[in-house]
């Protein structure tokens, strides 16, 4: 109910207590109690006789109702578990999956102290400024199709960032999101599968939102950036979580109904790793050459100096 109440207040214009109680089907007293709770949480509300209430500003908190206020989805993000500090949102999402949690279950955290990155690396997730979330999906796809979901996730996140902050980002295969060549977002897709079918997928998304330069570890200097550093404006993280869910859901529905064909051009349009010289470092080898594009299942095609084509499933790309 708090989320729905907040959704009504998002327009920024006055809305009366009576209208809110009618729209939500609850008493005026219940509305009033929730408004007081929101004020205590840091929501700034102006009230005027005969006009009602108007939302002036929102705190940058990540509680379920903060996110629900901006959600337009049917499934994704409709079961939110929000934490202040966790080691990593990934294992929590796996635990939810094991408990038969429904598709679209979302774990969000204000801070991660042991966040996991791709290829066994660490990921820096700073308290109060980064955005960390893990989304549970249960697609009926084969294991070989799973990389497509990773590419879909990158499209959803770039579109959400553009919608909320105006930043138009690049995607480096498979799903690093960059701005001006610096890393803004990391995506880690993990799955549980039977020999051929995917049982469930956890899409872990880390977005650098409101960090200042000195919030990043020295090793990330010149390599990482944040939305605030690039736009000069802080981003309301709950709004961004909801925007990611809103974009993800229509792309995912399209993917489940019609396959990767509709997603592929959207990914390609944002990609900086196509039709260019690059080097791919896989756990077992380095492949250098010219990238020819991606395969239907999302692998990267690289042609080496001898004209031989290599299909890359997972790697670190240097442009
Ligand atoms: C990368 O190496 O680029 C991927 C980083 C993925 C980080 C996200 S933050 C939310 C989720 N929880 C984790 O521990 N990792 C992912």
Interface ipTM: 0.99
The string of pLDDT tens digits covering residues 227-285 is 999 999 999 999 999 999 999 999 999 999 999 999 999 999 999 999 999 999 988 89
Say how many CA atoms lie within 13 Å of 163 toward its Cβ: 18
Q: Which of 145, 121, 189, 141 is nearest to 297 (CA)?
A: 145
- What pLDDT, on a 0 to 100 scale, did the predictor assign at position 196? 87
| Assigned token pair, 6 | 């907040």
Nearest atom in ligand 1 to the alpha carbon of residue 116 is 14
Question: Is the pLDDT score of 119 beyond 90?
Answer: no
Q: How far is the CA of 245 from the centre of ligand 1 (A)?
A: 17
Average model confidence (pLDDT) across the chain: 95
Backbone angles phi, psi at 48, to 5 degrees: -135, 135
Q: For residues 185 and 123, is the Cβ–Cβ distance under 8 A?
A: no
pLDDT in tens, 130-184: 999 999 999 999 999 999 999 999 999 999 999 999 999 999 998 899 999 999 9
Pocket lined around ligand 1, Cβ cut-off 6 Å: 88-90, 112, 115-118, 121, 123, 125, 132-134, 176, 186-188, 204-206
Q: Report pLDDT for 12.
A: 85
Alpha carbons within 13 A on the beta-carbon side of 70? 21
- Measured in Å, residue 12 CA sits from the centre of ligand 1 at 34
- Which domains occur in the chain, in start order? 2-57 (1.10.10.10), 64-269 (3.30.930.10), 273-318 (2.30.30.100)
Tell me the β-bridge partners of 170.
178
């Amino acid at each position: 109910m708090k989320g729905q109440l907040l959704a009504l207040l998002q327009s920024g214009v006055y809305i009366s207590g009576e209208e809110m109680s009618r729209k939500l089907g609850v008493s005026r007293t219940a509305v009033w109690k929730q408004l007081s709770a929101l004020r205590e949480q840091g929501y700034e509300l102006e009230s005027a006789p005969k006009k009602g209430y108007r939302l002036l500003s929102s705190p940058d908190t990540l509680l379920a109702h903060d996110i629900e206020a901006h959600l337009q989805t049917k499934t994704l993000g409709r079961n939110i578990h929000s934490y202040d500090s966790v080691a990593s949102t990934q294992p929590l999402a796996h635990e939810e999956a094991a408990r038969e949690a429904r598709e679209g279950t979302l774990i969000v955290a204000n801070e991660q102290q042991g966040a996991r990155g791709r290829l066994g690396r660490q990921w820096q997730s700073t308290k109060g400024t980064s955005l960390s979330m893990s989304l549970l999906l249960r697609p009926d796809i084969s294991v070989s199709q799973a990389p497509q979901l990773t590419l879909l996730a990158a499209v959803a996140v770039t579109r959400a960032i553009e919608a909320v902050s105006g930043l138009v980002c690049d995607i480096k295969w498979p799903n690093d999101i960059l701005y001006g060549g610096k890393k803004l977002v990391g995506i880690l897709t993990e799955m549980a599968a039977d020999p051929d079918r995917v049982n469930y997928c956890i899409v872990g998304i880390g977005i650098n939102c409101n960090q200042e330069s000195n919030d990043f570890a020295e090793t990330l200097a010149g390599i990482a950036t944040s939305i605030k550093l690039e736009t000069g404006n802080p981003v309301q993280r709950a709004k961004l979580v909801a925007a990611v869910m809103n974009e993800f859901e229509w792309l995912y529905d399209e993917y489940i109904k019609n396959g990767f064909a509709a997603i592929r051009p959207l990914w390609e349009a944002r990609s900086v790793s196509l039709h260019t010289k690059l080097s791919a470092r896989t756990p077992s080898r380095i492949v250098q050459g010219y990238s020819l594009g991606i395969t239907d299942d999302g692998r990267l095609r690289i042609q080496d100096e001898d004209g031989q084509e290599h299909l890359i499933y997972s790697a670190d790309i240097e442009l």
